[in-house]
Structure 1
Amino acid sequence: MDKLASCFVHHGAPSQTFKLHNLQRRSTSPLSPGRRSVPTVRCAAAHAATATKLSTVDVAVVNGSNDTSSFDFERYLSSKARAVNHALDLALQGLRCPDSLTESMRYSLLAGGKRLRPALAIAACELVGGPPAAALPVACAVEMIHAASLIHDDMPCMDDDDLRRGRPSNHVAFGEPTALLAGDALLALAFDHVAAGCSASSVVPADRALRAVVELAGAAGVSGVAAGQVADMEGEGAVSVGLVGLEYIHVHKTARLVEAAAAAAAGAIVGGGREEEVERVRWYGHVLGMLLQVVDDVLDLTATSEQLGKTAGKDAAAGKATYPRLLGLDGARAYAGELLAKAEAELDGFDGVRAAPLRHLARFMAYRQH
């Protein structure tokens, strides 16, 4: 965990007001259903003039029900990561396939990391009053889909990256054919795991399990990661890709997976959330996924390969459309600030204690340094 994140994790939310550039707060009631729009990014020059840099700004929580200063986010995240790691390890035991395929799957799925997406699923379940155990199959499935997408993303026919999380990418370690099949196998295992896990649970009714599977399928397929990846590749080197095209890519490639599969909809569904609650959390996850990508784009320019655990500067070298390229570095940081405030606004109608993990998770994603 980076130093800045550790600072507000250990000491709680700082007391100063969170000052961001051109924040747009939602004016509807806290749990009103209906689609909302992500803050529109204005011209890069205007942002650059007054941008607040996310790497140095103080974070604050508003008074009252949103006061989460006593919440120990590091402890929460560590406990969820341990539970998910154990469950993932069990899921990969006894697979009836060649050892090389199992090892390739384990290599990527158990490579470590903070398990932010599974924690997001569990936190969303808890937010609507569900028990953490109800979300564990979904949390594992989210990580399986994510690992599969990273394996495929790194391959020579995609982003052609030899490094992932500080280690050789899966196709470098096991060869392209095995890596391709490991990604496919993890994707299939995700659906098997969430269906079997929910059906074996006494707290997740069959209709909720089915809805969770539908959410996962949408996140992984033609309305999600697959569509975003194709648009991403087709946009390489294209000077005509603007903000609309860039947001299409990342809404599908990044935000859709976080929104539907990782925490928002699927976690809230298995937790028994009402329709308006599911929609509220879904939109939180959508905005959070956009925030994740904006910060990734900034770090690709400002961090080293050692800090990132993958090759830095590849997006710029490949001529990809990124937020810093379209908005400037300060403009991208300012937009990330707007997205953070928007994500937190979606939690305002929920119980403050239950919402604490999601508030801290949003800030952690915004202020991370790798």
Structure 2
Amino acid sequence: MVYIRRSNTRVVTERNLDFKEEFQKKLSIIEDGLKTYLPHEDEKPEIIHQAMRYSVSSGGKRIRPILAMATYEMFDRDVKYILPVACAIEYIHTYSLIHDDLPAMDNDDFRRGKPTSHRVFGEAIAILAGDALLTHAFNVIYESALTYSERMKLYVLAGKEIAEACDSKGLVGGQVIDINSVSIIDTSEKLMDMDIRKTGCLIRASVVAGAIIGGAGSSDILYLNTFGEKLGLAFQVQDDILDYKENEIFPDKPTYTSILGIEGAREYVKKLSKDAIDSLNIFGDKAAFLRNLTMSLIDRKA
């Protein structure tokens, strides 16, 4: 879907094509960057670098680095400054997935159709690969701060934003709540608190970090912070809708569909996506890609 009137079908089609082409362009740049900034798999100790590359190369939507790049490009067009930060964010996201799949957490054997890291390399190496990706992510950010010293303060601020999104009050805290979710989550407000931490924080930080590196002003960052918060929550609600099964009984882990019902969840995701898009109004046409990205995420079927 697109953020324009639908009366002109030709224009709608052209905008859709433009968005898809721009998305693929950003995705290609990010995929190349992800390979570039990682240690080579032949570098000793080989097994840890092989495990890191295995999980990073397992695919995925790359939504977080694309968000960072898109918000950055609203203020600056030279992607060399944002690419290392965008890749660092994806390394962090990958680390969280590796750990999330572990037997002590969700105990998943497959992710995106491929065996999970602990199934391929064993639990110990999987844990260490996640640790290494998290640590490496910040090394990439601060190496960039030294390389592009004229933006050093911006990299420090962006790094702080990302670190806070991952700490015990953010992503890790959300995972802690998730582990105990069956016994403590019985309302949409409690579920939202978990998802804001576990999923929303890193999505919001991706948006804000991109703006920071691009040199955005404080008022612009406030609007984008709101956009990131709403989008992060809408993304998770849509995931629950996609996972919905008819006649669902309260599952092992509570979802928006089990608490609000399928129609209630659909109405909630519509409201969140509208709020996200409305927060971009101040940016006019500069935010066209973010609007289209928001609608594509909400309309996705997988």
TM-score by length of 2: 0.91
Instruction: Tell me how far apart the structure 2 counterparts of residues 316 and 207 of structure 1 sit (CA, whole Å).
Output: 48
Equivalences for residues 164-175 of structure 1 within 5 A: 164-175=111-122
Q: What is the one-letter code of the residue matched to 2:34?
A: L
Instruction: Tell me how far apart the structure 2 counterparts of residues 173 and 316 of structure 1 sit (CA, whole Å).
Output: 33
Partner of residue 227, structure 2? 284
Instruction: Tell me how far apart the structure 1 counterparts of residues 255 and 261 of structure 2 sit (CA, whole Å).
Output: 9
Identify the match of residue 198 of structure 2 among 240, 253, 256.
253
- The structure where helix makes up a greater share of residues is 2
Partner of residue 278, structure 2? 345
Query: Offset at 1:168?
Result: 1.1
SS in 1 for 2:301: coil
Matched, 1:330 2:263: yes
Q: What is the one-letter code of the residue matched to 1:290?
A: L
CA contact (8 A) 1:224 1:256 kept: yes
Instruction: Tell me how far apart the structure 1 counterparts of residues 299 and 245 of structure 2 sit (CA, whole Å).
Output: 13
Q: What is the one-letter code of the residue matched to 1:326?
A: I
Instruction: Tell me how far apart the structure 2 counterparts of residues 321 and 244 of structure 1 sit (CA, whole Å).
Output: 12
Query: Offset at 1:91?
Result: 1.3
Partner of residue 92, structure 2? 145
CA contact (8 A) 1:130 1:270 kept: no
Q: What is the one-letter code of the residue matched to 1:231?
A: I
Partner of residue 275, structure 1? 218
More relative contact order in 1 or in 2 (CA 8 Å, sep 6+)? 1
SS in 1 for 2:243: helix
Instruction: Classify 1:223/1:15 alpha carbon distance in 2 versus 1 (closer, same or farther; 3 Å).
Output: same
SS in 1 for 2:88: helix
May I ask how many residue pairs the two structures share in their alignment? Answer: 297
- Residue by residue, what CA displacement relative to the aligned partner does 1:14-70 show, whole Å, maximum 9, x if unpaired? 606xxxxxxxxxxxxxxxxxxxxxxxxxxxxxxxxxxxxxxxxxxxx9xxxxxx937
Equivalences for residues 1-370 of structure 1 within 5 A: 8=1, 15=6, 69=15, 72-94=18-40, 96-129=43-76, 131-201=78-148, 205-236=151-182, 238=183, 241-260=186-205, 262=206, 264-302=207-245, 317-318=251-252, 320-352=253-285, 354-370=286-302
Partner of residue 43, structure 1? none
Instruction: Tell me how far apart the structure 2 counterparts of residues 119 and 198 of structure 1 sit (CA, whole Å).
Output: 20
Query: Offset at 1:130?
Result: 5.1
Instruction: Tell me how far apart the structure 2 counterparts of residues 239 and 193 of structure 1 sit (CA, whole Å).
Output: 38
CA contact (8 A) 2:56 2:94 kept: yes
Q: Which runs of 5+ in 2 are unaligned?
A: none
Q: Which runs of 5+ in 1 are unaligned?
A: 1-7, 17-60, 62-67, 304-312
Identical columns (%): 37
- Residue by residue, what CA displacement relative to the aligned partner does 1:149-170 show, whole Å, maximum 9, x if unpaired? 0000111111111111111111
Instruction: Classify 1:157/1:272 alpha carbon distance in 2 versus 1 (closer, same or farther; 3 Å).
Output: same
CA contact (8 A) 2:81 2:213 kept: yes
Instruction: Tell me how far apart the structure 1 counterparts of residues 127 and 5 of structure 2 sit (CA, whole Å).
Output: 45
Query: Offset at 1:71?
Result: 6.5
